[in-house]
Amino acid sequence: MTYEEMKSKACVASSRSKPKNEEHKIQCSCVSYFRLKYPHLRNMLFAVPNAARRSARNGAYMKDEGMLPGVADLILLKSNRFYGALCVEMKKPGEYQRPVQ
């Protein structure tokens, strides 16, 4: 399966309505590709749900639990001799990472 085929199918499996967020679609495609390519590491790559809209009460609750702004979208817990993990910030074409990220 090619990357383009995976990208078109990645978010269709959900029973909810199709998301219109292009960054979401790119992230779904990347995660699907990674989990197919590296099945032995599939549970080592996970998303950090920092971008969702929430109530002030829920936001305060999550901050108390340790949520921080600017944390990467994806984290891969696979170390090498230089780094302990890989943090990935997803951006759609034309967008750039902000300094807080």
- 85 within 8 A of 78, measured Cβ to Cβ: yes
pLDDT in tens, 7-18: 666 665 555 555
> Domain locations in the chain?
3-88
User: For 44, which DSSP code?
Assistant: G
Q: Write the CA distances from 5 to 2, 48, 58, 66, integer angstroms.
A: 5, 25, 37, 37
Tokens matching residue 101:
């990220």
The model's pTM: 0.69
pLDDT in tens, 46-90: 998 877 778 889 888 888 988 888 888 999 999 999 999 999 998
Query: Coil, helix or strand for 74?
Result: strand
